[in-house]
Amino acid sequence: MEDEDEGGGEEDCEEQRQRQNQAAPALFLCPISLEIMRDPVIVCTGQTYDRPSIEKWIRDGHRSCPITMLHLHDLTLIPNIIVRQLIEAWCSKEESASAMFAPSPPSPPPPPFLLAHHDFSPQESLDLGRRERVLGLLRRIAKGQDVRQSVATLKSMAKEELCGSSPTPPEAKKVCSCIVEAGGALLMASMLADELIQHGTALHGSPDGFIQHGTALHGAPDGFTARHEDSPCEEIMSLLALLCRGASREVIGAVLSESGALQCVVCHLGSAQIDLASRMSAAVLLKRLLATEEMRVEVGQSTQFFHGLLDLIDSSSSKKGLVKLLHLACSHKPNRSTAVEEGAIQILVNLLLAASSPPSSSSSSGEDRGLETTERALATLEQLCTVEQGRRAVCESTAAVHCAVRLLVGYSRPATEHATGLLLLVCQSGPVQVVQIAMRAGARRQLLLLLQSDCTGRAKKRALELLKLFHAIFFVQGDEHASSDFKNVDLY
């Protein structure tokens, strides 16, 4: 009986450990054992492993990094205190930290022959120096030393690597990858979550003020605007936006979501009392994150996101990236009704009303005239018209119909395509009055010109459908003058 009890206890412990491994963020798992790291250490390639796993790997005679397969020219194992602290904080909520963690033993010195017989190339030496500097800055941030300046330095290093005149070769170790692999993204996320807790009221009556994973992002903490001047949030969000490249985008999105830091980013975007630079940094980060469907779903639950974004579009002079962010958010169809309810239609119509004449052939770029912003605004209006609330709002806006008619011809091929799509959606499902408004604005003449222009096949198909619709409506009403314009057009 005792043996059975002991066996049952071991099975329970194993099941509990498996549940923890499945629930833990991916960055907490050792790439070798696929279990939560009890003693995370960094090898010379910048990867983090659990000490027992990587030591066994080395004892078995391997001299390459299990993930990158790069040569381990230095066998010194550096404790990753940042990841360790974050794992301990996560496990403490699971009431398992005390039994799980043991003191980190010092790393044994590497065998001298490994260093003596390895000649470092200039690029490898430079790479090692960058990695050591990154790890040093992350340690200072974790200890609370010169946090703002250290984050700014990391941002400068990442920006130089991504945007510099002499980019790092693909085979070299990237600064951005090193920051993410060493737990820098987790550290930044935890600092954003702390900022929300310290300078905002607790959400949903949470007794300790923590934002639990999965909490819907509804509303902003009333006290969030009382931030101290040395808050590093702007620098942190700018750094995370730079890190959101390739596979790191999904990693950073998951980290922000699970830590509750995503709420802090949305609060920065939505608070009119926060400085414009911080709000724009939040917008850039969210634009990178919303490239994934999962983030569009989660952020779309927040009315504060749309309210803040639309307010920023209306008040900021730099609208291109903000309109793109709105378009990305509305790519998830359930988000479109929320955007309409928060006033997106009127904001977009205002952009179209302010659109200048189409760029001339002599201009070097259409960007100066807001070409891309106008095209994106039209595309977003077309998106919003795929839901009933959006069509109803456009039908009630004479200005929206007039803008779509004006941009049918002579602006750009994408603008023509989106304008025909927008008009077709509202004229097919809207009241006859919408068709009358479009006709009075010169829609028939514009569509006939469009058919003779060098537009896309889709635009021509939509133009023909609109002309058929106009003809059918006015023919039924017996308006011979209106229908006479269609005699020379092959409608069918």
pLDDT tens profile 411-452 = 889 999 999 999 999 999 888 889 989 989 999 999 999 988
221: Cα separation from own chain's centroid: 22
pLDDT of residue 484: 45
Q: Residue 12: is its pLDDT beyond 70?
A: no
pLDDT at 359: 52
Query: pLDDT for 379-419, tens place per residue?
Result: 999 999 999 999 999 999 899 999 999 999 988 899 999 99
Identify the pLDDT of residue 199: 56
Q: Which residue has the higher pLDDT, 341 or 257?
A: 341
The terminus-to-terminus CA distance of the chain in angstroms comes to 87
Question: At residue 163, does pLDDT exceed 80?
Answer: no
User: What pLDDT, on the 0 to 100 scale, is given for residue 64?
Assistant: 87
Between CA 471 and CA 486 the distance in angstroms is 7
- Selection from 4-8, 23-27, 455-459, 486-490 with the highest mean pLDDT: 455-459
CB 437 within 8 A of CB 461: no
Q: Lowest-pLDDT range, 85-89, 267-271, 291-295, 339-343? A: 85-89
pLDDT at 327: 95
Contact status, residue 351 vs residue 399, Cβ threshold 8 Å: no
Res 275 pLDDT > 50:
yes
Q: Is the pLDDT of residue 152 over 50?
A: yes
Instruction: Note the pLDDT tens digit of each residue in 360-371.
Output: 444 444 444 578
pLDDT tops 50 at residue 462: yes
Cα angle for residues 84, 87, 93 (degrees, 5° grid): 140
**In this predicted model, which residue has the larger pLDDT, 235 or 103?**
235
Q: What is the pLDDT of residue 475?
A: 61
**Contact at 8 Å (CB) between 236 and 188?**
yes
Instruction: Give the separation between CA 387 and CA 336, rounded to whole angstroms.
Output: 7
Nearest to 426 by CA among 403, 395, 452: 395
Mean pLDDT of 116-126: 47
Instruction: Work out the pLDDT band at 114, boundaries 50, 70, 90.
Output: very low
Domains of the chain by range and CATH? 345-356+368-492 (1.25.10.10)
Does the pLDDT of residue 330 top 90, yes or no?
yes
pLDDT given at position 205 = 31
Across residues 242-259, what is the average pLDDT?
A: 79
pLDDT given for residue 350 in this prediction = 92
What's the pLDDT tens digit per position in 36-72? 888 888 887 778 899 999 999 999 888 888 887 888 8
Q: What does the buried/exposed string (b/e) look like for 326-346 if buried means 16 or more CB atoms within 10 Å of the residue's CB?
A: bbbbbbbeebbebbbebebbe
Confidence label for 204 from pLDDT (cuts 50, 70 and 90): very low
Task: Give the pLDDT score at 404.
Answer: 93
- Full-prediction pTM beyond 0.75? no
Residue-level length of the chain? 492
Task: Give the span between the Cα atoms of 436 and 425, in whole angstroms.
Answer: 15
61 three-state secondary structure: coil
Whole-number percent of the chain with pLDDT over 90: 29
Q: Average pLDDT in the 119-146 region? A: 71
What is the strand order of the sheet 78-79 is part of?
48-50, 40-42, 78-79
Angstrom distance (rounded) from CA 230 to CA 81: 25
Residue 7 three-state SS: helix
